[in-house]
Structure 1
Amino acid sequence: MSLARGLAFSTRRRLLKAAAAAAAAALAFGLAGNAHAAPLGELKLDYAYYSPESLVIKRNGWLEQEFAADHTQVKWILSLGSNRALEYLNSGAIDIGSTAGLAAVLGKANGNPIRAVYIFSRPEWTALVVRKDSPYKTLADLKGKKIAATKGTDPFLFTLRALHTAGLSRDDVEIVNLQHPDGRVALANGQVDAWAGLDPHMAAAQIDDGARLLYRNVDFNTWGFLNAREDFIREHPEALARVLKVYEKARVWIAAHPDDTAKIVAEESKVSLPVAKLQLSRNDFSQPQPGPRQIAALKAAAPILVDEQLVKSGTNLNQIIDTLIDPHIAGAALATAATNNTGSTQ
């Protein structure tokens, strides 16, 4: 879906409807009752090249402005992939982090104390990539070959699901565990035969290296989740609502300023402007509130985690997903965000 089409749904009327629908949830979650909670001393969150909102917010200093009166220090940490974001969340290095949906399920299934509180985009951010001169034409051609992928991330899980469609498993290939930018370099240098790419690195490989997408499947790209630690949700619900208000501000701003957004993404990610525009064209920013659609998609994708023995035997993944995505938490925070953003530029 194009950026323009994806953002067309981002209207003031939709925000107001979302606010009305979530008003009861806001009371249930207790945001109003925590309005007088002690100011937060430090807010720790990540920014990621695959999360355009985070780059826009960081560049414009909007969180620093939001919390300036409380003297809250905002600490930004770069996440190069879902695996890093999940590690930071699990250790408490950050309170809020950006991951792919299925990676968040894997993290929570393995004990990471998180909940999904926002959807920063519905992307097609990963595919299986080969060099422009590669002889490989189909997934079946990758049998016995080396594929670079970052374990615990959406591209890694995408690769496993893709292989299954061709009757292959992880044992039929050699997966080389490399962080996303290193995977691109390994592919270009001929050290691997294919790479599970991630934007903007994937878009850069296409435009700058002439790389070819061997296998695409938008349905195997899970949603971009903003996750918060459960203790942070419990102890600082009002601060969380304010963070999501700023994320909503960024989402609305992206709709009105696509060229400026591309420039920020290019400069922050250190890629060319055409690369940034290609990345953004593969993102749909129209659905910020997690809910039934994400739950259904993740439950359809979750069996790969069992098939590949990535979770403990007997893990109830449906229950994990139900507890990961709590529409009431997201709805409560977004009610505040929608109300405050009604005057924002569309």
Structure 2
Amino acid sequence: MERRHFLRISAAGAAWLAAPLSASAAETPKEIRLDYAYYSPPSLVLKKFGWLEEDLKPSGSSVKWVLSQGSNRALEYLNSDSIDFGSTAGLAALLARANGNPVKAVYVYSRPEWTALAVGKDSTINSVKELKGKKIAATKGTDPYLFLLRALHENGLNKSDVEILHLQHPDGRIALEQKRVDAWAGLDPHLAASQLEAGSRLIYRNVNFNTYGFLNVSESFAAKYPDDVKRVIRAYERARAWIIKNPDETARLIAEEAKLSLPVAQLQLKRNDFSNPLIGNEHATALRAAAPILIDEELVKSGTNLNETITALIEPGFAKSVIRPA
């Protein structure tokens, strides 16, 4: 996690001030609904400062913010038309798209190392192989859950070799610290808090098994309001640039919003790389490397063409039209 190059930024990273949207743009919806999530620092910054509300004010449109506790919740909200934009892990978005949730990934809000396998401070478990026959907490449909499955496979195990308790991220932390489970596939900031406040230990880390943070939009919204997709991305770019310039203030904001101690928020922030927001081939390649787990564990329907699904999921055009190249 110390390997994350938080302060690395290209010329493109600071160039959120792309050309303004056309004054003759198509109609804007009366309300744009976005999620915010403690695992997505840009969403917290954007909600705090109201830059999107400010941009939409002349059009008479408003903004509604909805809290997502995990990728699974964000994707449920998108699928039920409760939000227009949702923050998720890349592999979780692919799983949802493969199972019929019509979302488009249009932006990368961070490259995180936000998940790892943790055990309690007094645990004698030190490796993934020692988890055979043990109880593990994870949130189904999220990056930590898929991270767990990939870690098991890499060590010659599968989900039938362990007992997975499907708990939301905060509840997984509690279960680990109360010794109701032997291990937990954790997610920041809960994971960072458990490490610093309860002494939980990380027994398996793999940054390549952490898929990117995707900002997704419902396919119907993107088709009807393409200029507003660009508007949201432009606002996210403003938030991303602010984070890179103001890491200390960002950590304080995360601590305040998520009710965390400042050291926990700082640790979470260090595990994020905000340098490349342009979604594209890099992210498609990462998903192709991760996709076999979805088939191996029968998480998608038999015969699903995941390469085609990845192509359908990732839509780089909106971001490319807003973010200037390096």
TM-score (norm 1): 0.90
Q: How many residues align?
A: 326
**Residue 208 of structure 1 pairs with residue 197 of structure 2:** yes
Structure 1 position 2, deviation (Å): 5.7
Q: Distance in 1 between matches of 2:4 and 2:114?
A: 17
- Could you report, residue by residue, the CA deviation over 1:152-209 in whole angstroms, capped at 9, with x for unpaired residues? 0000000000000110000000000000000000000010000000000000000000
Deviations 1:265-292 (A, max 9, x none): 0110111000000000000000101111
Local SS of the residue matching 1:77:
strand
Check the 8 A contact 2:71/2:87 in 1, yes or no: yes
Q: CA deviation at 1:325?
A: 0.8
The SS at the match of 1:279 is: helix
CA distance in 2, matches of 1:67, 1:333: 17
Give the distance between the partners of 2:24 and 2:211, measured in 1 at CA.
34
Q: Which runs of 5+ in 2 are unaligned?
A: none
2:4, 2:113 within 8 Å by CA — same for their partners in 1? no
Check the 8 A contact 2:35/2:74 in 1, yes or no: yes
Question: Match for residue 233 of structure 2?
Answer: 244
Which residue in the other structure is 2:47 paired with? 58
Amino acid aligned to 1:282: R
Q: 1:46 aligns with which of 35, 58, 64?
A: 35
Superposed CA RMSD: 2.1
Q: Of 149, 167, 178, which aligns to 1:178? A: 167
Does 1:258 find its partner at 2:247? yes
Partner of 2:311: 322
**Conservation of the 8 A alpha-carbon contact between 2:176 and 2:183:** yes
Greater percentage in helix: 1
Whole-Å separation in 1 of the counterparts to 2:280 and 2:15 = 16
Cross-structure match for 1:137: 126
Conserved in 1, the CA contact under 8 Å of 2:8 and 2:273? Answer: no
Flag structure 1 segments of 5+ consecutive residues without an equivalent. Answer: 24-30
Q: Are 1:3 and 1:283, in contact at CA under 8 Å, matched by a contact in 2?
A: no
Work out whether 1:128 is the aligned partner of 2:117: yes
**2:103 equivalent to 1:117:** no
Q: Structure 1 216/244 Cα, relative in aligned 2: closer, same or farther at 3 Å?
A: same
Q: Which amino acid aligns with 1:58?
A: K
C-alpha distance 225-261 of structure 1, shift in aligned 2 (>3 A): same
Q: Which amino acid aligns with 2:170?
A: P
**Structure 1 residues 13 and 247, CA, compared in 2 at 3 Å: closer, same or farther?**
closer
**Superposition misfits of 4+ residues, deviation over 4 angstroms:** 1-4
Q: Give the 5 Å matches for 1:1-346.
A: 5-11=5-11, 15=15, 35-334=24-323
Q: Secondary structure at the match of 1:127?
A: strand
8 Å CA contact 2:138–2:169 kept in 1: the answer is: yes
> In structure 1, the residue corresponding to 2:115 is in which secondary structure?
coil
Question: For 1:275, what is the secondary structure of its paired residue?
Answer: helix
Output the TM-score relative to the length of structure 2. 0.95
Partner of 1:265, secondary structure, is: helix
Measure the CA separation in 2 of the matches of 1:51 and 1:79.
10
Contact (CA 8 Å) 1:42, 1:72: kept in 2 or not?
yes
CA–CA separation in structure 2 for the residues paired with 1:3 and 1:268:
26
Task: Letter of the 2:185 partner, please give it.
Answer: A
Contact 2:152/2:158 (8 A) holds in 1: yes
Moved more, 59-68 or 303-312: 59-68
Q: What is the alpha-carbon distance in structure 1 between the residues aligned to residue 268 and residue 24 of structure 2?
A: 38
Contact 1:35 1:238 in 2 (8 A): no
Counterpart AA for 2:100? G
Q: Which moved more, 1:183-192 or 1:320-329?
A: 320-329
2:235 is matched by which residue type in structure 1? V
Q: Deviations over 1:272-317 (max 9, x none)?
A: 0000000000000001011111000100000000000000000000
| Gap change, CA 1:183 and 1:174, over 3 Å in 2 | same
Measured after TM superposition, the shift of residue 84 of structure 1 is 0.2
Quote the Cα distance in structure 1 between the aligned partners of 2:13 and 2:43: 24
Question: How high is the sequence identity, in percent, across the aligned residues?
Answer: 59
